Amino acid sequence: MKKLLITVTLFLTAVSFGFTQITFEADYEYSGTYVELAQSGYKFYVMDVVNNQCRIYNTDHSLWKTINLPVPPDNYLYDIKYVSENLFTDDNSVSLCYFYYYFDDIAQYYTYYMKIINESGTELLSLSQAEYAYGYNIDDENTKLIAYLYDYSVVPYTITTVIYDLPGHLVSTKQTGELIGAPGNAYPNPSTSFSVLPFTLPDGTDKGELQISDMQGRVVKTFDVDRTFDNVRINTGQFPKGTYLYRLVAGAYASKANKLIVE
């Protein structure tokens, strides 16, 4: 009887798995992700680096809004963060934060810029040398934006942290075990000889590990990190040419993966 029960259970499990399917929905030419908006719910947006646009889609993949991102000539769109409602403004319009950069071929250094605009193109904030930024809900009433300014025109480079109070509140889409926003953007990237990987350890952790993986998901190099420094300089000459992913693992947290290109 016990053997028969096990056989029936295995058969029902097999039938159950046989009807479970992963269904293709859509594909996009550019990198994208889901976001939860305070008023309009979940959307999917992509970063069009060729046309300097943020295109926002409904969950059925129909186009909802297109936001043009002013980027000066010879500069390149790098990242989009915090596509939101009622965060940077006190109305229901969509706003976002985006980054672009310029590379000085003669002096051989990058300059990053950050802008916050609303969907009509009105500029709400502009920062030079801002390479990345994070939003934090301090409590139910106060939300802060922390931006990190890097001046690579001097040696050693300097870092300045600036803090802004935001009129709205950050809608949290953070999932258990996921650390949003770390590590920071590598520079230079693409790299030929070295690259610096900035990172931010989450609150309550003093140690972590930066993991570099190939595009097949194999970890090819790890670096132990702590609060002594906020970046790791790596020798990219030891890696074959190609695209790699790097992420920060600290305690129960694992960050999103950023790309590093070795030329």
Rounded to an integer, the average pLDDT of 184-207 is 81
d(CA 138, CA 146): 12
d(CA 43, CA 250): 29
For residue 216, pLDDT beyond 80: no
Residues 6+ apart with CB under 8 A from 146: 133, 134, 135, 136, 161, 162, 163
56 pLDDT band (50/70/90 cuts)?
A: very high
177 pLDDT band (50/70/90 cuts)?
A: very low
Q: Is residue 252 part of a domain?
A: yes
Do 184 and 165 reside in the same domain of the chain?
Answer: no
d(CA 259, CA 263): 13
Do 193 and 262 reside in the same domain of the chain?
Answer: yes
6 vs 110, higher pLDDT: 110
Give the residue from 103, 138, 173 where a domain finishes.
Answer: 173
Tell me the C-alpha to C-alpha distance, in Å, between residue 128 and each of 160, 173, 182: 11, 28, 21
Give start and end residues of each alpha helix (H) in the chain: 2-18
Q: Is residue 109 part of a domain?
A: yes
**C-beta contacts of 233-239 below 8 A and 24+ residues apart:** 233/194, 233/195, 233/196, 233/197, 234/194, 234/195, 234/196, 234/197, 235/193, 235/194, 236/191, 236/192, 236/193, 236/194, 236/195, 236/260, 236/262, 237/192, 237/193, 237/194, 239/212
Tell me the C-alpha to C-alpha distance, in Å, between residue 152 and each of 8, 34, 113, 184, 191: 67, 33, 13, 15, 15
Do 135 and 194 reside in the same domain of the chain?
Answer: no
Do 68 and 137 reside in the same domain of the chain?
Answer: yes
**Going by DSSP bridges, is the β-strand pair 94-104/242-250 parallel, antiparallel, or unpaired?**
unpaired
Give the model's pLDDT for residue 252: 62
Do 147 and 225 reside in the same domain of the chain?
Answer: no
46 vs 214, higher pLDDT: 46
Q: Write the pLDDT tens digit of every residue in 110-139.
A: 898 999 999 999 999 999 999 878 788 888
CA dihedral for 154, 159, 165, 171, sign (positive or negative): positive
Give the global pTM: 0.65
CATH of the domain at 207: 2.60.40.10
For residue 179, pLDDT beyond 70: no
Give the model's pLDDT for residue 44: 93
User: Encoding tokens for residue 159?
Assistant: 């870092």
Q: Is residue 250 part of a domain?
A: yes
Q: How far is CA 72 from the centre of its chain?
A: 22
Q: Is residue 6 part of a domain?
A: no
For residue 251, pLDDT beyond 60: yes
Q: What is the total count of domains within the chain?
A: 2
DSSP 59: T
Rounded to an integer, the average pLDDT of 185-190 is 82
Do 44 and 139 reside in the same domain of the chain?
Answer: yes
Q: Is residue 7 part of a domain?
A: no
Closest Cα to residue 100, out of 121, 127, 66, 136? 127
d(CA 84, CA 93): 8
Q: Is residue 212 part of a domain?
A: yes
Do 201 and 155 reside in the same domain of the chain?
Answer: no
Rounded to an integer, the average pLDDT of 43-56 is 93
57 pLDDT band (50/70/90 cuts)?
A: very high
Rounded to an integer, the average pLDDT of 70-82 is 91
* Other residues' Cβ atoms within 10 Å of the Cβ of residue 217: 8
Do 123 and 110 reside in the same domain of the chain?
Answer: yes
Do 162 and 79 reside in the same domain of the chain?
Answer: yes
Do 38 and 75 reside in the same domain of the chain?
Answer: yes
For residue 3, pLDDT beyond 80: no
153 vs 11, higher pLDDT: 153
Give the model's pLDDT for residue 73: 94
Q: Is residue 18 part of a domain?
A: no
Residue 247, SS3 per DSSP: strand
Average pLDDT, whole number, for the chain?
83
CB 111 within 8 A of CB 101: yes
Q: Write the pLDDT tens digit of every residue in 79-116.
A: 888 999 999 998 889 999 999 988 888 888 889 899 99
> Which residue range forms the structural domain that includes residue 154?
26-173
Give the residue from 173, 194, 212 where a domain finishes.
Answer: 173
Residue 8, SS3 per DSSP: helix
Q: What percent of the chain has pLDDT over 70?
A: 86
Give the model's pLDDT for residue 6: 46
Give the residue from 157, 173, 189 where a domain finishes.
Answer: 173
Do 122 and 209 reside in the same domain of the chain?
Answer: no
Rounded to an integer, the average pLDDT of 213-231 is 82
